[in-house]
Structure 1
Amino acid sequence: MSIPLLSYAPSTQNPRVAGLEVAGEEQPRIFSTENLLSTADMNNLIEAGYRQIFFHAFASDREPFLESQLRYGQITVRDFIRGLLLSDTYKRSFYNLNNNYRFVEQCVQRILGRDIYSEREKLAWGVIVATKGIEGFVDELLDSEEYLDNFGYDTVPYQRRRVLPGRAEGELPFNIKSPRYNEYHRAQLGFPQVIWQTSVRKYTPQEKKAKAGDPANYLAMAQGLSNAGGNPPPKVSAFNVDINKVPYRKTGEEAKELVTAE
Structure 2
Amino acid sequence: MSIPILKYSLSTHNHRVNSFEFLSGEEQPKVYTTENLLSSVEMDEIIWASYRQIFSEHQTLSITREPALESQLRFSQITIRDFIKGLLMSSQFRYLNYDVNNNYRFVEMCVQRVLGRDIYNYRETLAFSILIASKGLESFIDFLLDSEEYIENFGDNIVPYQRRRIIFQRNKGEVPFNLKTPRLNYSFLDKQFMPQISWSGTVRRFRPQEQKPKAGDPALFLSMLDGIAFV
TM bucket normalised to smaller: 0.7 to 0.9
Deviations 1:33-84 (A, max 9, x none): 0131100000000000000011132112100000000000010000000000
The offset of 1:175, in angstroms, is: 3.2
The offset of 1:162, in angstroms, is: 2.3
Cα distance in 2 between the residues matched to 1:66 and 1:114: 26
Cα distance in 2 between the residues matched to 1:20 and 1:34: 22
Q: CA separation of 1:16/1:123 partners in 2, compared to 1, >3 Å: closer, same or farther?
A: farther
Cα distance in 2 between the residues matched to 1:15 and 1:45: 28
In structure 1, the residue matched to 2:40 is 39
The offset of 1:25, in angstroms, is: 1.7
Do structure 1's residue 54 and structure 2's residue 55 form an aligned pair?
yes
In structure 1, the residue matched to 2:22 is 20
Preserved contact between residue 20 and residue 165 of structure 2 (Cα < 8 Å):
no
Q: CA separation of 1:141/1:43 partners in 2, compared to 1, >3 Å: closer, same or farther?
A: same
Superposed CA RMSD: 2.4
DSSP-derived class of the 2:124 partner:
helix
In structure 2, the residue matched to 1:10 is 10
Do structure 1's residue 128 and structure 2's residue 131 form an aligned pair?
yes
Instruction: For structure 2, list consecutive stretches of 5 or more residues without a partner in the other structure.
Output: 168-173, 194-231
In structure 2, the residue matched to 1:119 is 122
Cα distance in 1 between the residues matched to 2:16 and 2:108: 17
Identity, % of aligned positions: 56
DSSP-derived class of the 2:150 partner:
helix
Kindly provide the amino acid, as one letter, of the partner of residue 38 in structure 1: S
The offset of 1:185, in angstroms, is: 4.0
Query: Paired residue for 2:144, among 138, 141, 145?
Result: 141
Bigger radius of gyration among the two: 1
In structure 1, the residue matched to 2:200 is none
Cα distance in 2 between the residues matched to 1:176 and 1:187: 24
Deviations 1:151-195 (A, max 9, x none): 00000000003279xxxxxx6201334533312449959xxxxxx
In structure 1, the residue matched to 2:72 is 69
Preserved contact between residue 56 and residue 179 of structure 2 (Cα < 8 Å):
no
Matched length: 183
In structure 1, the residue matched to 2:89 is 86
What TM-score, normalized by structure 2, do the two folds share?
A: 0.73
Q: CA separation of 1:43/1:185 partners in 2, compared to 1, >3 Å: closer, same or farther?
A: farther
Cα distance in 1 between the residues matched to 2:127 and 2:157: 28
Preserved contact between residue 106 and residue 178 of structure 1 (Cα < 8 Å):
no
Query: Paired residue for 1:150, among 144, 150, 153?
Result: 153
What TM-score, normalized by structure 1, do the two folds share?
A: 0.64
Q: CA separation of 1:15/1:133 partners in 2, compared to 1, >3 Å: closer, same or farther?
A: farther
Cα distance in 2 between the residues matched to 1:32 and 1:81: 13
